[in-house]
Amino acid sequence: MSCIENKSAPAAGDNKTGKDYNPYEVMEPRFPLKTPTDRRNGKHVKANDIPSEGVYLPNNNILAPHMKSPEYVQLSNAAAITLGIMGGRMYRCECTRCLNLLLTYPEGCRANCAYCGLARHREADRDYADRNFIRVDWPAVPMADIVDIVAKDPENSPFHRMCISMITHPRSEDDTFTVLQQWTDRIDPDAIPVSILSNPTTMTRDDVQRTKDLGADIFTVALDAATPEVFDRTRGKGVQSPHKWSKYWEIMLEARDIFGPQKFGAHIIVGMGETEYEVLKLVQELVDLGGHSHMFCFFPEQGSLMDHLPATPRDQWRRVQLARYLIDYRDVRVEQMKFDAQGRVENYGIGDAELADVIDAGIAFRTSGCPGKFQDDISACDRPYGDSPPSDIASYPFQPKKKDIKLIRKQLDIPVTV
Ligand code: SF4
């Protein structure tokens, strides 16, 4: 088993639009088809009584109705390799610094987000445990096994952070509390802090408070879409999904209140039809509120309602990565930057020498997320190859080397001036 993915990945350069950005009019998801009754709500899996045993690898294709949270969680391939639960290696990475966990149920996530491999409409052709999230597989493992391994020596663990990702499911809140408590009962959250990647649709303020009381350090909201229009089209009414932009903001503002500055944030996917100006305006808004943005590059996941659409061109992605880093960590404001008629970044609002230093430092192009133990602007959550194939890296899960910076400069169209 290897983390080097062989999925048929459309290269970012294959953008059939001929543009260096993904325009709104092109990024229209397909409408979901009706799921046959016998496949709805995990019926087909739940009709069995096969006991779950140990680690479950996606594509095992065993119907395992009892494999559910809080007893079971899914974890990223990278986390499973780092934990020693699975063999394998990751291209140019020794390990991952974040133990990403995902709640799991035979009936899966009840939302239908157009870009997501776990979306509800996929129950028509794949059992939940056999689906991948975005790009990488997520094996299912008993939570007790994970805690047993990490609790042996949390101080010296390769993990700088643990994160619980909720999905849209009626048991999601209660099971998040149980999984969190199971962790903090045995592992000091000062040794390995915990983040919650929330699903606001079914949450209340009290739920947010409870995660804080149980020891969570950072609370993030998977806003994913950068504008209300893109949100509605990709994860709301447009695809028969229950999410609402206003509810996501309500919970994010509760998190700001409860967790405080620098301890809340939002996930944003770049390249789903928003302009660069729109996404960076949102990044600025989050910074002004005291929070952070964690960015993902849109990838057309096979089997999703957006699998016919182009991946985010690297030009657009690099411009947004760089500008977002300047806003988040260098006190540059979006108002200082200049944008063209298509909303593309034309000027980053700082001098050429300073800009060159930031580019050459490479951190702006690493995966963004909650911080680890190295420094504030280096994310523990490195998500190896979660938004691109290793052959055309979007978010670098390691420190980019000279040859990487050369490529990044080419993608940014900012050559070295000597
Ligand atoms: S709520 Fe999350 S897991 Fe569920 S379909 Fe949407 S993005 Fe995927």
pLDDT surpasses 70 at 30: yes
What percent of the chain has a predicted confidence (pLDDT) above 90?
A: 70
170 burial via Cβ count (<10 Å: 0-12, 13-18, 19+): exposed
* Residue 47 pLDDT level (bands cut at 50, 70, 90): low
Fill in the DSSP letter of residue 356. Answer: H
Report pLDDT digits (tens) over 211-241.
999 999 999 999 999 999 999 999 999 999 9
Greater model confidence, 9 or 236: 236
CA distance 391 to 379: 22
Q: Whose CA is nearest to atom 6 of ligand 1?
A: 113
93 alpha carbon to ligand 1 midpoint, in Å? Answer: 27
- Report the atom number in ligand 1 closest to the C-alpha of 115: 7
CA distance 319 to 329: 15
Report pLDDT digits (tens) over 264-280.
999 999 999 999 999 99
Task: Note the Cα 219 to chain centre separation in Å.
Answer: 14
Report pLDDT digits (tens) over 363-410.
999 999 999 888 899 988 888 888 888 999 999 999 999 999 999 999
What pLDDT does 352 receive? 95
CA distance 264 to 364: 20
345 burial via Cβ count (<10 Å: 0-12, 13-18, 19+): buried
197 alpha carbon to ligand 1 midpoint, in Å? Answer: 11
303 alpha carbon to ligand 1 midpoint, in Å? Answer: 14
CA distance 282 to 170: 30
CA distance 193 to 184: 9
Give the DSSP H/E element, type plus range, for residue 263.
Answer: none
HEC string of 273-311 equals: CCCHHHHHHHHHHHHHHCCEEEEEECCCCCCCCCCCCCC
* Angle CA 313–411–223, to nearest 5: 45
Fill in the DSSP letter of residue 187. Answer: S
Fill in the DSSP letter of residue 333. Answer: -
Fill in the DSSP letter of residue 260. Answer: -
Residue 23: CB atoms within 10 Å: 13
25 alpha carbon to ligand 1 midpoint, in Å? Answer: 23
pLDDT surpasses 80 at 53: no
pLDDT surpasses 80 at 130: no
390 burial via Cβ count (<10 Å: 0-12, 13-18, 19+): middle
| Torsion angles phi and psi, residue 134, rounded to 5 | -120, 115
318 alpha carbon to ligand 1 midpoint, in Å? Answer: 25
Report pLDDT digits (tens) over 145-181.
999 999 999 999 999 999 999 999 999 999 999 999 9
By most ligand atoms within 8 Å of CB, the mutation choice from 76, 197, 199 for ligand 1 is 199
pLDDT surpasses 50 at 10: no
Report pLDDT digits (tens) over 295-318.
999 999 989 999 999 999 999 999
CA distance 62 to 51: 10
Give the DSSP H/E element, type plus range, for residue 175.
Answer: helix 172-186
117 alpha carbon to ligand 1 midpoint, in Å? Answer: 8
What pLDDT does 253 receive? 98
- The lowest-confidence range among 34-38, 117-121, 193-197 is 34-38
Instruction: Give the burial string for 398-407 (b: 16+ CB within 10 Å, else e).
Output: bebeeebbee
What pLDDT does 38 receive? 73
pLDDT surpasses 50 at 189: yes
Asked whether the beta carbons of 138 and 116 are under 8 A apart, the reply is no
Residues 6+ away with beta carbon under 8 Å from 355: 348, 414
Asked whether the beta carbons of 354 and 362 are under 8 A apart, the reply is no
By most ligand atoms within 8 Å of CB, the mutation choice from 102, 113, 176 for ligand 1 is 113
CA distance 27 to 324: 22
What percent of the chain has a predicted confidence (pLDDT) above 70?
A: 87
Strands 72-75 and 140-142: antiparallel
What pLDDT does 85 receive? 85
Which of 122, 92, 111 is CA-nearest to residue 367?
A: 92
148 alpha carbon to ligand 1 midpoint, in Å? Answer: 29
Residues with CB under 6 A from ligand 1: 109, 111, 113, 116, 118-119, 167-168, 199, 235
| Token pair recorded at residue 299 | 């990838």
| Token pair recorded at residue 41 | 């709500």
- Report the atom number in ligand 1 closest to the C-alpha of 112: 5
Radius of gyration (C-alpha) of the chain in whole angstroms: 20
Q: Whose CA is nearest to atom 5 of ligand 1?
A: 119
**Average pLDDT, stretch 29-45?**
78
Q: Whose CA is nearest to atom 2 of ligand 1?
A: 167
333 alpha carbon to ligand 1 midpoint, in Å? Answer: 31
pLDDT surpasses 60 at 7: no
Asked whether the beta carbons of 294 and 322 are under 8 A apart, the reply is no
Q: What is the mean pLDDT of the chain?
A: 89
- Report the atom number in ligand 1 closest to the C-alpha of 235: 6
By most ligand atoms within 8 Å of CB, the mutation choice from 102, 109, 120 for ligand 1 is 109
Q: Whose CA is nearest to atom 3 of ligand 1?
A: 167
Question: What angle, rounded to 10 degrees, do the helices at 352-361 and 402-412 form?
Answer: 130
CA distance 82 to 85: 8
Owner of token pair 């899996």: 45
- Report the atom number in ligand 1 closest to the C-alpha of 110: 4
Report pLDDT digits (tens) over 321-353.
999 999 999 999 999 999 999 999 999 999 999
- Report the atom number in ligand 1 closest to the C-alpha of 201: 1
Q: What is the DSSP string of 67-94?
A: --TTTEEEE-HHHHHHHTSS---BTTBS
222 alpha carbon to ligand 1 midpoint, in Å? Answer: 9
What pLDDT does 1 receive? 26
| Token pair recorded at residue 182 | 């199971």
pLDDT surpasses 80 at 42: no
